[in-house]
Amino acid sequence: MPVSAARAAAFEILLRVEGEQSYASELLHSSRFATLSGSDHGLATELVMGVLRWRSLLDLRLAGASSQKLERLDVEVLIALRLGVYQLQFLSRIPARAAIFESVELVKAARKRSAAPFVNAVLRKTSGTSPEVILDKIRDAGDPKKLAEGSAHPEWLAVRWAERYGLEATRQICLHDQGIPETAIYVREGGADELARAGVRLSPGLLVSSARRVISGDVTKTKAYLEGRVSIQDEASQLVALLVGGGNRILDCCAAPGSKTSLVAQRNPEAVVVASDLHPHRARLLRDLVRRPNVHVVVADARGLPFPGGFDRVLADVPCSGTGTLAHNPEIKWRITPADLDDLQSRQTAILRSALDQLAPGGRLVYSTCSLEREENEAVVEAVLRDAPEFKIADCRIELERLQRPGELAWNDIDSLLAGPHLRTLPGTHPCDGFFAAMIERYS
């Protein structure tokens, strides 16, 4: 009997995430798996994201039942085991015999037939607690180390978050990361009506009024999404784009895939918007997504921008660790190391210095990341402005209050969105990913 389409897809995706440093969400929505039925795609998504979210906890369960050290297993065997134990642990609707049988068949299909009896034996010996008990342990954890173990987060991340944000905020971050996040979208003109006709139900944004949240239906299968009138974009990301404000010449210097660029361009239809990205293939993706006549796409390294400057507004949404997006990208937490933060900071500092050179007198730059780490946020801004007296920090409160007055900002508690003069959203505390934004102005 062949392996089910959903489990075969999940197995292939997890192999690529492990071996190619790919991102699961991109693979799940790639053309390779577009032919899966709705139910198969749903199960594949559940399996992939569940295994990645709970990987360390799954490995603890497997290690207790395995006669071999997990690090010595072939990757195909380990992934089949993780898929099996995830179903046994978290998916009560799937019979245990089906979860075990399909994991055994996966290793056979992967030409690891000799490991089939081992996989069968380990999964039959595996026992665990219910999801409700696991969540209770997270809620009751009294220190960051226990919280990290119970919530399947690297200990070093939980410890640093607790030191920075406090244990309770860290608990909320971890709980948010381990849940299935709601899908937030940015809808261009007429897109909402198209989605309604396609059977997609929406609710208003909780942070940004113009955002929408998907209640039911698959946005990615709609014509509006495929033709670029709707894009998946977290509400915090949309808020960062709103902070850019208005101008005649606007630069987005790390623009791909282009969701922020598109929002900025729509709000500034008369402006010239230059959107650059380092990689040609990402620039092509940017062109395909944005599709606005006032946006000009350029391939350029943000650390050495080739423009003459004089932009009224600049957005520098820099490459970062992504630790604020673990609910959507759980594989990040198994890849990132403390040393990576220093490497990223060096690149981010270079980009910010280059981006500031493009800013006209009296202009505003928004520096942003989807990271929770100080090294990538305040530390970068402080390091760059230390030797740049012609620039000053602007208080995000003023801009948030300006957005709140006409109702564009749906969130009432502005104080909770601020870390000093900067924007700071925290998963679990706010209904969105974790973002940081600093507004920097050039003296006139």
Residues belonging to the active site: 370
**Which CA distances in Å does 405 have to 171, 238, 400, 408?**
32, 17, 9, 7
CA dist., res. 31 & res. 54, Å (int): 27
Beta partners for residue 276, in sequence order: 298
Beta strand spans in 195-308 (E): 201-204, 212-216, 230-232, 249-252, 272-277, 295-299
Which structure tokens are listed for 380?
Answer: 């970068």
Letter string b/e over residues 73-85, b meaning 16 or more CB atoms within 10 A of that residue's CB: beebbbbbbbbbb
Region of residue 436 (left: phi > 0; alpha: psi -120 to 50; beta: else): beta
- Alpha-carbon Rg of the chain, whole angstroms? 23
In sequence order, which residues have a C-beta less than 8 Å from that of residue 108 and are 6 or more positions away? 116
Beta partners for residue 311, in sequence order: 359
| Residue from 270, 271, 229, 233 nearest 252 by CA | 271
